[in-house]
Structure 1
Amino acid sequence: MLQIPVSPIADEKVGRSAVANDKERKKMRTKSLVGVLIALLLLAGAAAVSAQDVTQAEKDKALQYLETTKKNVLEATKGLSEAQWNFKPAADRWSVAQVMEHIAAAEDFLRTLAKEKVMSAPAGEPGRDVKKTDEAVLAMVPDRTNKAQAPEPLLPTNRFGSPEGSIKHFVDSRATTEDFLKSTPGMRDHVMESPMGKLDAYEFVLLVAAHSERHTKQIIEVKADPNFPK
């Protein structure tokens, strides 16, 4: 059998070529891994943007609104006599005591909705215009030109025993609302249907404060009645 001699130089070239190819494959794998990592980081960034989490400025704004509306409720009900608390401008109108009870009860009701229902509701649509919805809540809810009937669970029933009991419950409940705002992450992540459309948990907090502003105006209206006791 004819044997063809193998050149040592040829063997050396083959060896160098194999090493070079192995290095090239490792470089390609490294580039691919880096590419995957970059893609994952970009996707994570996109997800963070689409979630539209509440900014610190937005939290500060809501906290300020909660504090201001609390102060206004307390100012509007300060120093009232028993006759003033219980005066009703008409048979179908609420007294200041009844309005105060409603404010305190609604604080619990709306915050519980936000915490237990909204935060477990489906996710909102990507790109939802949260600023527009925030502004709508702040503009529409305090507007007393649009009258509305309170739902049955929030009608006054003297559930807190006295006007003073209603005030104490309101102050305690408002502190809980503020804690919910400060400590809850992902308040923009979920939305729930409401009479104003789909609202997230942050917008429900705005709604809580706006609702108390609305009914502070109602208290002022009762006190402005010409027959209000002096």
Structure 2
Amino acid sequence: MYKLINDNLYETRNNLVNEINLLSDAQFNSKPDINQWSIAQVCHHLVLVEEASIKAIAWGLKEVDGTQKERKKIHLTLLDRTKKIKAPKIVEPDVEPFEVQQIIELLDDSRKKLMTFLSTIEDKSILAKKSMKHPALGELPLDQWIEQIYLHEQRHIEQIKEIKLLLDARQ
């Protein structure tokens, strides 16, 4: 199972980088609408979510409560873009502009932190037995916290594709 999660983390991140790699910094920071995020902000949000997820999993591992929580069909919530999910303050992106390369480095850095952190967990089965409250998904087993990282990223890759189309339409 963990190979599948790793493969999904890797594949989704590659897809994300491929979506943004060839953008100019101007395109990257351009907002399709005053009330929407730029692609740069979407990517910064993904970095913040990955880092916050590491903290949440670490806290969850320290919890003593051993009652196993019910697994949820989180893909149904996260991949359904008709349902808006408001980002908690802690994972709201900066309004300052970013360079594409800068964000790619931040994405690489947050992924290295995640993989390093996960490699320190000797008994990975504990991740299915402990849980932590997720701001949008409720109480989640810790292994589903890992899963939500790439599902959330897939959700935002679709958003990035839409933003690119909107920006192209304006030219």
TM-score bin, normalised by smaller chain: 0.7 to 0.9
Q: For the structure 1 residues 140 and 78, does the alpha-carbon distance in structure 2 shift closer, same or farther, using more than 3 Å as the test?
A: same
Contact 1:189–1:200 (CA under 8 A) maintained in structure 2: yes
CA distance in 2, matches of 1:165, 1:121: 35
Quote the residue 1:119 is aligned against. Answer: 61
1:218 pairs with 2:159 = yes
Q: Which has the larger radius of gyration?
A: 1
Post-superposition offset of 1:212: 1.3
- Provide Cα deviations, 1:39-95, integer angstroms capped at 9, x if missing partner: xxxxxxxxxxxxxxxxxxx11111111001111110110111122112211110111
Quote the residue 2:150 is aligned against. Answer: 209
Contact 1:160–1:169 (CA under 8 A) maintained in structure 2: no
The AA in structure 2 aligned to 1:166 is I
Unaligned stretches of 5+ in structure 1?
1-57
Q: For the structure 1 residues 159 and 182, does the alpha-carbon distance in structure 2 shift closer, same or farther, using more than 3 Å as the test?
A: farther
SS at match of 2:166: coil
**Percent same amino acid at aligned positions?**
25
Post-superposition offset of 1:162: 3.2
Post-superposition offset of 1:139: 2.9
1:137 pairs with 2:77 = no
Unaligned stretches of 5+ in structure 2?
none
Quote the residue 1:107 is aligned against. Answer: 50
Q: For the structure 1 residues 154 and 144, does the alpha-carbon distance in structure 2 shift closer, same or farther, using more than 3 Å as the test?
A: same
Contact 2:54–2:114 (CA under 8 A) maintained in structure 1: yes
- Provide Cα deviations, 1:162-211, integer angstroms capped at 9, x if missing partner: 33222211112112222333441221231122332321221111111111
Quote the residue 1:152 is aligned against. Answer: 89
Which of 106, 109, 120 is residue 172 of structure 1 equivalent to? Answer: 109
CA distance in 1, matches of 2:14, 2:95: 23
RMSD: 2.2
Q: For the structure 1 residues 85 and 152, does the alpha-carbon distance in structure 2 shift closer, same or farther, using more than 3 Å as the test?
A: same
Quote the residue 2:21 is aligned against. Answer: 78
Which of 22, 27, 31 is residue 88 of structure 1 equivalent to? Answer: 31
The AA in structure 1 aligned to 2:99 is S
Q: For the structure 1 residues 83 and 160, does the alpha-carbon distance in structure 2 shift closer, same or farther, using more than 3 Å as the test?
A: closer
Give the aligned length. 167
Contact 1:101–1:166 (CA under 8 A) maintained in structure 2: yes
CA distance in 1, matches of 2:107, 2:120: 20
CA distance in 1, matches of 2:16, 2:67: 36
State which drifts further: 66-75 or 81-90: 81-90
The AA in structure 1 aligned to 2:24 is S
SS at match of 2:93: coil
